[in-house]
């Protein structure tokens, strides 16, 4: 299980500990939460969204299944907004489209705790190149590609 935090620091730590090959060759169930999901991705994607992340930063991840995940895209809207404020981070649709145009498609995941206590969980499972989507409590998954953000679930 790869947990959250800063995905670039997680990658750096795994490089320092010489774990990259072991993770890429692991033949079992691997789960990534937040930064962990980003690190498992083809690309670790950050758009300018907060004081901690003021610039675009895209680096290669573990590329376990050829897809890229960008978590914490939490919104009640059925269409991805032009500007999404999620906690202390702000995501701009045009920034996401800019990354997709340069690095290829990626998925936006909704995964937040509501004030009522309900959690909007969205998961992507990839096995043998097959992608499956799971959501609960109105969780959402979007795909960014071809100049648009499309709601999948």
Torsion angles phi and psi, residue 136, rounded to 5 = -145, 160
Domain boundaries, the chain: 7-151
- Whether pLDDT at 53 is above 80: yes
Helices (H) and strands (E) counted in the chain, each on its own, are 4, 10
In this structure, the number of other CB atoms found within 10 A of the CB of residue 3 comes to 13
Residue 133 Cα to chain centre, angstroms: 13
Q: What is the pLDDT of residue 76?
A: 83
Quote the pTM value.
0.90
Q: By CB neighbour count within 10 A (0-12 exposed, 13-18 middle, 19+ buried), where does 116 fall?
A: exposed
What pLDDT, in 10s, does the model give residues 76-122? 888 999 999 988 899 999 999 999 999 999 999 988 767 787 777 88
Q: What is the pLDDT of residue 112?
A: 75
Name the pLDDT band for 129 (thresholds 50, 70, 90). confident
Cα angle 127, 133, 138; round to 5: 160
pLDDT band at 68 (very low <50, low <70, confident <90, very high): very high
Picking from 6-20, 62-76, 82-96, 112-126, which range would have the lowest pLDDT averaged per residue? 112-126
**45-64 average pLDDT score:** 95
């Amino acid at each position: 299980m790869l947990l959250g935090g800063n995905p670039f620091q997680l990658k750096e730590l795994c490089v320092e500990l010489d774990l990259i090959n072991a993770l890429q060759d692991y033949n079992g169930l691997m789960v990534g939460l937040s930064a962990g999901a980003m690190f498992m991705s083809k690309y670790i994607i950050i758009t300018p969204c907060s004081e901690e992340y003021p610039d675009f930063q895209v680096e290669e991840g573990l590329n376990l299944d050829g897809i890229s995940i960008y978590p914490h895209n939490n919104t009640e809207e059925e269409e991805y907004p032009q500007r999404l404020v999620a906690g202390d981070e702000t995501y701009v649709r045009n920034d996401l489209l800019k990354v997709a145009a340069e690095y290829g498609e990626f998925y936006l995941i909704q995964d937040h705790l509501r004030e009522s206590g309900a959690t909007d969980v969205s998961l992507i499972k990839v096995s043998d190149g097959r992608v499956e989507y799971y959501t609960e409590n109105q969780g959402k998954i979007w795909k960014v590609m071809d100049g648009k953000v499309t709601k999948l679930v």
